[in-house]
Amino acid sequence: MTSATPLFGRVCLLGVGLIGGSLAINLREKSLAREIVGVARRQETREQIKKLGLADTVTGDAAEAVRGSDLIIFSTPVGSYAALGEAISGAFKKGAIVTDVGSVKNAVIRDLGPFVPEGVHFVPGHPIAGTEHSGPAAAFGELFEDRYCILTPPPGTDDAAVKKVQALWEACGSTVQIMDAAHHDKVLGITSHLPHLIAYTIVATAQDLEEATRQEVIRYSASGFRDFTRIAASDPIMWRDIFLNNREAVLEILQRFTEDLTALQRAIRWGEGDVLETLFTRTREIRRGVVELGQAGTFDTRERKTPEESED
């Protein structure tokens, strides 16, 4: 999709890593913005953004970048939102739209909402897309294609602003859903946050094995363990902030998972094969549903899929 008239004039990207950088590529290639301004704290990162051509202007001054911007996108770890929001609170122009790409939404509304002044529209968002890679060089334009993006505008948000953010994500190839923030956090707690927590734990358990056994685990890794290591390679700062800012939903889901794991442990101990088979059959159907909905995985097109991934 291309637009003769850009959807936005000046777009400010607060953070230009995998998500922000991939958005920048779409903004440029699909003529969705007249001007792209990128913000990064480190000089090394700013130089990389310039070299990759992800923004027209790159600065370390967030308030300077926000001034005059029609759309401001927070794509830093969610734990930084409150301080960053406070730093730029006086720089928004009237009528601007503020959105984000964070994986939790209640905390975003709590931390960022108070710094969005009257006359500026706040439309929190979450593109359900990503890879284990991070940084500007990890960005690629196809990241959002055939993915879902969830928007969680607070009650009373300007409908026209919501529609503009929706149009942005649809232009990037995503299917947009509007959802209550608390419901989003509960759903993502089980579909994304718990799996990451399990992956980090399993890989850490393998790391704690004695040296000889640990080397064999690495050498003979089957597809299951490889998938866990891929997930566990995700940005540690981003995931630290996700767990701390969605703790209620994660702890609730984790408690239910712990109870189910205990029941599975008991079935194995007592040789209850029918219980195991029933569980495995039921969960296999879930996998088939995921594949049928086209949600089997988001992969960087520059990387080869494993045979197991290609079968999907």
Tokens of 247: 């703790």
- 8 A C-beta contact, residue 176 and residue 169: yes
Nearest to 141 by CA among 98, 165, 118, 171: 171
In sequence order, the 6+-apart residues with CB closer than 8 A to the CB of 86 are 115
pLDDT of residue 309: 31
Check: CB of residue 30 under 8 Å from CB of residue 173. Answer: no
Rounded to 10 deg, the angle between the 181-188 and 247-269 helix axes is 30
Element (H, E) at 148: strand 148-151
Instruction: Output the pLDDT for position 305.
Output: 35
Contact indicator for 152, 186 with CB cutoff of 8 Å? no
User: Would 8-179 and 183-311 be classified into the same CATH topology?
Assistant: no
In the chain, where the domains are located:
8-179, 183-311
| Separation between Cα atoms, residue 38 and residue 57, nearest integer Å | 6
pLDDT for the residue 303: 41
Q: What distance separates the 2 farthest-apart alpha carbons in the chain?
A: 67
Q: Report d(CA 86, CA 117) in Å as an integer.
A: 11
The pLDDT of residue 48 is 96
What is the rounded CA–CA span in Å between residue 40 and residue 60? 5
Backbone angles phi, psi at 148, to 5 degrees: -95, 150
Phi, psi of 40 (to 5 degrees): -145, 145
Q: Any residues with CB less than 8 A from the CB of 45 and at least 6 apart, and which?
A: 16, 135, 136
DSSP state, residue 100: E
Class of the domain covering 8-179: alpha beta
The CA distance from 110 to 135, in Å, is 27
* Burial track 189-198 (b if 16+ CB lie within 10 A, e otherwise): bbebbbebbb
Beta bridge partners of 175: 148
The rounded distance, in Å, linking the Cα atoms of 213 and 16 is 40
Judge: domain 183-311, CATH 1.10.3660.10: yes
Contacts of 269 (CB under 8 A, 6+ apart): none
- The 3-state DSSP class for residue 172 equals coil
| pTM score | 0.79
Residues of the chain predicted below pLDDT 70: 1-4, 210, 212, 214, 217-224, 289-312
The CA distance from 260 to 59, in Å, is 49
